[in-house]
Structure 1
């Protein structure tokens, strides 16, 4: 398996395959109203993708990093902006020093049990953010992904919603706003995850073999980003909040 990173606008065909796979997984669970699952991100020059590819060419998972640029809201801003107006100022406060969102995590059923999404794609997504000079990383996670997110260094953002929680994307589902404020050292992450993420940052192109519940998995990581948007972080007075109304 190979996990590679690229800027979304540079590879439209790969992005289409990512979106199709993500939509298939969500539909299988009856979830259709997820802001990170639309296709507008494909045209955003500040979106970066990590995608897992099987040797036979199957796209078997992915994750994205959206950089806050002051003009296009992050997926979490669109998702919860109607019920939590403070989210705009909250994101804006961190954006000038580099902030982004980890979102769109999915893996195909064919690779369930290997940890492709819950471990290796998350490692990759968090690993690439130092190339983007992000000092803060947000996410909006489902109940079943909260534990694995905390293991990677996220903490619950109590200042949003009901102590960090929201009903999203459906009234019977709970999402939690989480954040990494120490993106360089990942001090709150479990040691095994922190060490592996930092190793990936030190060597962006490497191959490892991991023992999983379904047997050994050989993974080639190719995480060197090309064509990083050179524009400095810029924050307008206000993102046009009509986007989420």
Structure 2
């Protein structure tokens, strides 16, 4: 069984370390040695929440995603990344901060679970589902080309006011990132109906147990997305 667990970063440094180790290994496999969201400063940031995916039987951490709240004290990872090519990102985030905003970042899943949909489907849905509970109204992210369509299906749209119509080279010369935003995290009006249904179910029951099926696997997920 797969288990998804939500916690505040400062409350569980051991799990933060497991997240960082797994994320770094995946990045290295892709030839990426440095991205702003791979820094470990977030371990000690009270405005960061983490969702990790674990194999319940073994305790192995096989994926994760983070929510960095824009608190006016620490810049979001995407601010540091995008500012290298477009400093207008600071003004963009500042414009949404008062209404409550955050960045979904650090998404990864292990090679052993490739094809399960843990990263771009299961963890992303879980991350989006908890945003209203954190008293936030909007959500930013940076995504790679292969996750853009999947992100749009969940309610994101391209934020074209920065970079080259929302795109820029990052984290290395042969990779392109796109800035995206959900402008209504409660209603998710741009999300596909089936994505809305799953995300809304997670909001209704953050301790949901659900069976996921895809071309490679059928497996049960035990969610624990309850804020303590």
Check whether TM > 0.5: yes
Partner of 1:41: 42
* Cα distance between partner residues in 2 of 1:82 and 1:3: 34
TM-score (norm 1): 0.91
Partner of 2:127: 125
Gaps of 5+ in 1: 227-245
1:14-69 Cα offsets, whole Å, 9 max, x none, are 00000000000000110112100110111110000010000211100000000000
Partner of 1:177: 179
* Cα distance between partner residues in 1 of 2:203 and 2:183: 17
Asked if 1:188 corresponds to 2:190, the answer is: yes
* Cα distance between partner residues in 2 of 1:92 and 1:5: 27
| Structure 1 residue matching 2:92: 3-state secondary structure | helix
Q: Cα offset for 1:172?
A: 1.3
Partner of 2:60: 58
Aligned runs of 1:188-207 on 2, under 5 Å?
188-207=190-209
The one of 214, 217, 239 aligned to 2:219 = 217
TM-score (norm 2): 0.98
Q: Cα offset for 1:214?
A: 1.6
CA RMSD of aligned residues (A): 0.7
Deviating beyond 2 angstroms after TM superposition, the runs of 4 or more aligned structure 1 residues are none
Q: Cα offset for 1:83?
A: 1.4
Gaps of 5+ in 2: none
Q: Cα offset for 1:215?
A: 2.2
* Cα distance between partner residues in 2 of 1:188 and 1:200: 18
The one of 81, 84, 109 aligned to 2:83 = 81
The one of 149, 152, 158 aligned to 2:151 = 149
Partner of 1:104: 106
Which has the higher relative contact order, 1 or 2, with Cα contacts under 8 A spaced 6 or more apart?
A: 1
* Cα distance between partner residues in 1 of 2:88 and 2:115: 38
* Cα distance between partner residues in 1 of 2:25 and 2:109: 10
Aligned runs of 1:130-141 on 2, under 5 Å?
130-141=132-143
Q: Cα offset for 1:82?
A: 2.2
Aligned runs of 1:218-233 on 2, under 5 Å?
218-226=220-228
Partner of 1:114: 116
Q: Cα offset for 1:206?
A: 1.1
Partner of 2:20: 19
